[in-house]
A and B are shown apart, each in its own frame.
Chain A
Amino acid sequence: MGREKEKEKLSEKALNLLRSRLSDPNFIFRPLSDSPDSNYSKLKFIISTSVTEACNNSILLLGPRGSGKVAVLELVLSDLLQQYPEAISVIRLNGLLHSDDNCALKEIARQLCMEHQLLFSKVASFDDNSQFMIAMLRECGLAHKTIIFVLDEFDFFAQGKQRLLYSLLDAMQSVNSQAVVIGVSCRLKLLSDERFKELIDTYLSFNFTIGHLVRFLFQAVSYMDLSAGFLSLGNFKTALSSNQRQPKLECIRDCSVLELYMMVCMKRLEVKEQASYNFYSVMTEYKSIHDSFQTSDYYAANVCLRAFEHLLQCQLISFIDNKGHNQSVEFRPVKLLISSAELHQGLKSYQQCPAILLKLMDR
């Protein structure tokens, strides 16, 4: 008994170690960054030269999500902070949060204050904050300190009027400052925008994604059997199957027989090339099926309405337009969100599917 417990504890520790390593992007990308050609080295070279030579610079990191852009950047920054502890100050902004330039300037001011132990006032206005930023840039320029602006989700800053970008880049040009602007984005269409070609000095692209792989590994590792203490092939297979789910089929399998009837009616209406249909046309079709085939599954309108609403909730059907809010549910036109092949497959895999439905689908 004691040995079992001990073994479990050890395997728990191993599991914890694996999980923490897999969830930590720094750990994953460090060994990949050692070669001289890698993005890590290029980035490190660019930033360190701007620090030592006291010049401005701008870099854009592009690549799909999960390809390690921010991870590599963080690695570079942590290394540089160790190398030049007094000469670098980092400001981090995120496009999801700070795309509004009021917010962004407030955040810049707040981070600058935190970094230099100044008191941050929450009621400072936009002008106050922007003057503060320019003043700080000037001071840091005089002190030979480089400010690195990291703009995550750069595409949010780049849409709209781009006031923040222009004010930042303006500030960098006007005062004698040392600043590096690093944009990180996963939307590749930025490359085609002409304005950025002028503003940004360097593009680095990250090409391979390992985000999905890491997630898969995490799942497989989590399924590890603690009593045995080893990973097995079965763990990987379970993780793989959970990633290969087909959600619409699962939804169909969860439907009741009445809901299947309604979907088949809608399919038939589509086949008959009715441009749009709503709940009442589906009910007429349902009634005609019942009349011609004498099925035992014929239910009243309110029960069918409830089934209809359940289908709406599962997003197997949806309203055609979003503006019909002054019509009740029964009259708004709907459309099916699954193809007939998917419906067919779902019906086949349904336990105890009434044969009539399959026959109707085959016609």
Chain B
Amino acid sequence: MATEESPQVTRRATRSYSASNTAIESTNPPESYKPTINDLGFRQQPLRLEDLFSSFPGRRSQILELLRLLGPLNSPMFPILVYGGPSTGKTSVTLQVFRHLNRPFIYSSCITCYSPRILFESILNQLFHRKDSGHSYSSLKRCERPSDFVNYLREALENVITNLKGNSGKVSSKMSGRPDGTMVYLVFDNLECVRDWDKSSTILPFLFNLNDILKMPEVGLIFISNTSPDTYYLNIGYAEPIPLYFPDYTEDDLRHIFMANQTNSRLYASFLDVVLRPFCRVTRQVDELAAAFSSLFKKYSEPLSDKEVAPNEEMKRRLFSHIRPHIASALNETFQVRSQPLLKAETNQETKKTNSSRMPGVREDFDKIDFHMSTSAKYLLISAFLASRNPATLDASLFDSTGVSDSHKRKRKASEKSMDQKEMAEQELLMKGPGTFPLERLLAIFQCITSLAEDSLDEEESHELTVEGGSRGLMSDVLLQLSSLCNANFIIKGGSCPLEGSTRYRTAVSEDLALKVARSLKFPLSKYLYRR
């Protein structure tokens, strides 16, 4: 798994919305590319300090502190832990600081390197400068254990450092594009992911003690993490790295960030005056705000015929009254993930990064479901939802062969005690979540529902003759559909029950989604739900 610095940098640039430097070009390496030691540096135009400050508004003190801790050229350092909330600019600032200093560094992210072996091999590949255009995905050395990694790393680092020392005696590096100095820095990004794959907790202590194990003063370690240092409590103790905190942006900083690179700054300023404060009450993460603002700004500037004009007071008031009803609804929506994949590809990337995909159903907040499902899959989903929601004892009364039964609508007045019981039961339902059901029950409910649907279809279109083989066709698909629904996380497969010996399933969709699906099939779901 070979990596290279420049394409990574371009990816970083697109990820950071409008605050990035405008002078970033994407370089395409030629076919027969042999990376050399110069690749350890940033390989793009060097950055002056003022540009660094201006591209990261609100981060001046953090940049200064990082520069101070890294120290002057060839000065040994203690390991640093950069931490802060998501999208606070930790990675971008660190990388741009290295660009400004023009020092050689190795970057690896624990999200893309999701196991120790991949992490070790990625670092070694970068150090051994290996990227063969033919075998660009094979590693130079197979390295699984920390002990092997330390040996190879020492060897590689000594190589690199002797090279660097040789270079530093020659022509000044500014002219030849070579990185400065004789120190190599290792940057480990997204360190909190290591906790998840490190069940036996050997890797985290190893990384934190790497400085002591290597005992090479020419190597500097920088860790970047989304969570604070006290979440890395290790019971063997370790030499704590120096913490560097990146707080979330204040409202003023957010304003600066969003104002950068806007074509019509006066118009955008008046837009921000209106929306920034209410949105900041909900979230202060830049990527979430950027996604919300981009669509909202389009609506805001709709009534304007001329987008270049600077608005005066009266126009501002008009625009405000136009946008006001939309703000409230926009506040209650998370990312608008439209099914136009190319346009919204960037927003999608940000969505996936900051939000786990454990609840796909909830994100869609439209009136219609936004994805395609076959009819049998929809029926299966509804049956699964009913099976999870209703206790099994009710099935017989709900799904008898004559169709919907009204027997659960009791005519007596509810007494005080039963109201309390109802409340407690509802509480329990909330706490426990959807119940599990075996496969047979799901299929039985599915059979009932589809036969009902067939009957109603028959009544409506009694003159059609083609509906006959329908139900038999639906049945054959079911098990296949079930496994696709499980893969899509609509239904979760639980462990097998030891008494019965069959696997049990559980729905993971919210009621909203189930209702939407039912509505699209014209199925009266609410009549079948218990206690509604």
- By a beta-carbon cutoff of 8 Å, the part of chain A in contact with chain B is 12, 15-16, 19-20, 23-24, 64-66, 70, 94, 96-98, 100, 103, 106-107, 110, 153, 155, 186-187, 211, 215, 218-219, 222-223, 226, 242, 245, 247-248, 250-251, 253-254, 256-258, 276-278, 280-281, 284, 297, 299-303, 305-307, 309-310, 313-315, 326-331, 333
Contact = CB atoms under 8 A, between A and B. Distances in A.
Given A303-B333, A315-B231, A331 B226 contact: no
B117 to A, nearest CB: 15
Given A66-B239, A218-B242, A23 B217 contact: yes
Contacts of B69: 219, 222
B430 A315 contact: no
A301 B362 contact: yes
B139 to A, nearest CB: 16
A16 B281 contact: no
A186 B238 CA distance: 10
A16 B430 contact: no
B480 interface: no
Interface stretch (B243-251, B373-381, B455-463): B243-251
B229 A247 contact: yes
B157 to A, nearest CB: 16
Contacts of A281: 427, 430-431
A256 B230 contact: no
8 closest A-B pairs by beta carbon, nearest first, are A331-B433, A247-B228, A300-B332, A97-B147, A254-B248, A257-B281, A280-B430, A23-B76
A305 B359 contact: yes
B283 A328 contact: no
B334 A256 contact: no
Contact of A215 (B75, B78, B284): B78
A305 B76 contact: no
10 contacts: A19-B76, A20-B75, A97-B146, A103-B147, A242-B245, A250-B247, A278-B430, A306-B283, A306-B355, A333-B431
Contacts of B240: 215
A248 B228 contact: yes
Contacts of A98: 147
B433 A327 contact: yes
B77 interface: yes
B431 A222 contact: no
B356 A309 contact: yes
A107 B434 CA distance: 53
Contacts of B345: none
A327 B494 CA distance: 9
Nearest to A98: B147
Contact of B362 (A24, A253, A284, A302): A302
B397 to A, nearest CB: 27
A23 B433 contact: no
Contacts of A103: 145, 147
Given A16-B74, A314-B227, A315-B228, A96 B331 contact: no
B147 to A, nearest CB: 4
B522 interface: no
Contact of A96 (B74, B146, B356): B146
B68 A107 contact: no
A256 B359 contact: no
A329 B363 CA distance: 13
Interface string B474-495: 0000000000000000001111
Nearest to A64: B237
Given A250-B245, A307-B282, A309-B356, A315 B227 contact: yes
Looking at chain A's contact residues, the main secondary structure is: helix
Contact of A313 (B86, B229, B492): B86
A329 B236 contact: no
A64 to B, nearest CB: 8
B190 to A, nearest CB: 12
A284 B429 CA distance: 13
A303 B213 contact: no
Best-buried of A96, A110, A281, A327 by chain B (most CB within 10 Å) = A96
B164 interface: no
A12 B205 CA distance: 34
A152 to B, nearest CB: 8
Interface in B279-313: 280-285, 288
A302 B334 contact: yes
B283 A307 contact: yes
Contact of A257 (B282, B506, B508): B282
Contact of A302 (B76, B151, B363): B363
Given A19-B75, A215-B78, A328 B230 contact: no
Contacts of B284: 254, 256
A219 to B, nearest CB: 6
A97 B492 contact: no
Contacts of A330: 359, 433
B72 A15 contact: yes
Nearest to B244: A242
A177 to B, nearest CB: 24
Interface string B80-115: 000011100000000000000000000000000000
B288 to A, nearest CB: 8
A97 B228 contact: no
B22 interface: no
A222 B68 contact: yes
Nearest to A21: B76
B417 interface: no
A65 B237 contact: yes
B38 interface: no
B137 interface: no
B71 A15 contact: yes
B228 A251 contact: yes
B144 to A, nearest CB: 11
B236 A187 contact: yes
B86 A242 contact: no
A82 to B, nearest CB: 19
